[in-house]
Amino acid sequence: MASQFVSSSDIRAQFSQRMSNMYRAEVPAYGDLLNLVSEINAESISKNTSLVDSLESSNGLERVSQERHGAIRLGTPNELNIICRIFKIMGMFPVGYYDLAAAGIPVHSTAFRPINAESLAVNPFRMFTSLLRLDLIEDQDLVSQASKILHQRQIFSNDALDLLDKAESVGGLSETESSDFINAVVETFRWQQEANVTLETYEKLHEAHRLVADIVCFKGPHINHLTPRTLDIDLAHESMKRYGIVPKETIEGPPQRQCPILLRQTSFKAIEEAVLFTDDKGGGVEGFHTARFGEIEQRGIALTPKGKGLYDRLLNNSKHQDVSLAEAFSGFPDSWHEIREQELAYFHYSWVDGTEPPKMLAGSSTVIPDNQHAVIPDNDPGSQQINRKELDNLINDGVIRFDPIIYEDFLPVSAAGIFKSNLGESANQTFGSVSNRDEFEEALGEKVLDPFQLYQAIEDETIKSL
């Protein structure tokens, strides 16, 4: 029976493409971003052979052109619970917990994404998913009104829920069922011009926080951006104007480097869209809403806890000392060899092209390639994994290469910066440090996964496969 089911990665890939097509039709400037990124990536690949070699060695070249991440905002714990179940059918799992309240955004979030190297290579689609926190809004009458509005809506169609139940009960979906499932889920995120509140209610919620109005006042969680991946975000940022796109003032994330780390993002301002609000007489009142925008990202290497700790310290220094971001980050090594030697990031290990893996002499525990000197026990196949010293020796001998493992997740400060640039000055409020991960995970129905453990597992698997 399982062989008759469409794989979760294939469902995810089809869903990603359908979402991209829909958003391109709804926000034409997103199509301009895709064209821009395609042009810049082709130029980067033609000029940078070492980058191409690295991407090919780590199985990352083919995924670049199709790579996207999206972002949605949900209103209730039940909505988050159902979306968690839906994304699991697509092989996407909640990774990381992001508290944006301290940055003035009344949400907490996770990223649903594939979690192993094989799934990421097929399609790395991610959905940054935020849950509204009405407990951070002071006006209790407004909170009560917003809560009532949210609990009266149903953002998922009956078809989507029925197919979700079936997939969970039998372990998968047929080709026809998966197509119907994708169609039904995509509709959940479509822009709907008709609001489910009066203009007066919208304005009150908007005054409390623009993000609250965006989440509460509509019939569904319209996708607010889709983001293609570029190989050169500085060039992309500069080139946006050539396409008639006005970018935000700065690029979020670390400064420009020879060895990119984590994530850098830029965007264009949110578009103003016509909305039809309800009125007490059953008619409609015309108005406008601003929420959806375009974004481009460049992904660097995933950092270890040690590397992320250094990153956070340098970022903090740039904020509290009179130094530029580039000056502050001069303290972070900018060569792959130094980064690896100091164990600041995760790497994909593989044999150099044309190199034969070491051969074992019968009855010996020593590997005897021509000029290599790693030692691997031969009495237990399960124990034949190269240790750190042996790995270093083989790298020095020039027979093993190491390439960056791409960062698949997000940075709270950068996410807040992108949100704020599209929310305006009214977003400059703060809610203090009020993280509530337990509440978020209770709504999910499961624990969020630790990204560091996932990257370590991928690195370990590449070593084990040598």
Per-residue pLDDT of the chain (466 residues; tens, 9 = 90+): 556 899 999 999 999 999 999 999 998 888 888 888 888 888 888 887 887 777 777 666 667 777 789 999 999 999 999 999 999 999 999 999 999 887 788 999 999 999 999 999 889 999 999 999 998 888 999 999 999 999 999 999 999 999 999 999 999 999 999 999 999 999 999 998 899 999 999 999 999 888 899 999 999 999 988 899 999 999 989 888 888 888 888 898 999 999 999 999 988 877 888 999 988 766 788 999 987 888 899 999 999 999 999 999 999 888 877 788 999 999 999 999 999 999 999 999 999 987 767 653 333 333 434 434 333 334 344 445 788 899 999 999 999 999 999 999 999 877 666 666 655 545 456 665 567 899 999 999 999 999 999 999 999 999 998 8
Name the nearest CA neighbour of 111 among 378, 409, 418, 396: 409
How far apart are alpha carbons 127 and 107 in whole angstroms? 15
Q: Top-level CATH class of 2-196+212-246+426-453?
A: alpha beta
Distances (CA, A) of 28 to 35, 294, 379, 465: 11, 10, 62, 44
What pLDDT does 375 receive? Answer: 38
H or E stretch at 401: strand 400-404
CA distance 212 to 218: 11
- Full-model pTM: 0.88
Give the E-state strand segments of 311-363 in sequence order: 347-351
Question: Which pLDDT score is estimated for 381?
Answer: 43
Q: How far apart are CA 177 and CA 157, in angstroms?
A: 15
**8 A C-beta contact, residue 74 and residue 130:** yes
The predicted pLDDT at position 431 comes to 65
H or E element in which residue 113 lies: strand 107-113
How many Cα neighbours within 13 Å face the side chain of 374?
26
For the chain, what are the domain ranges? 2-196+212-246+426-453, 356-398
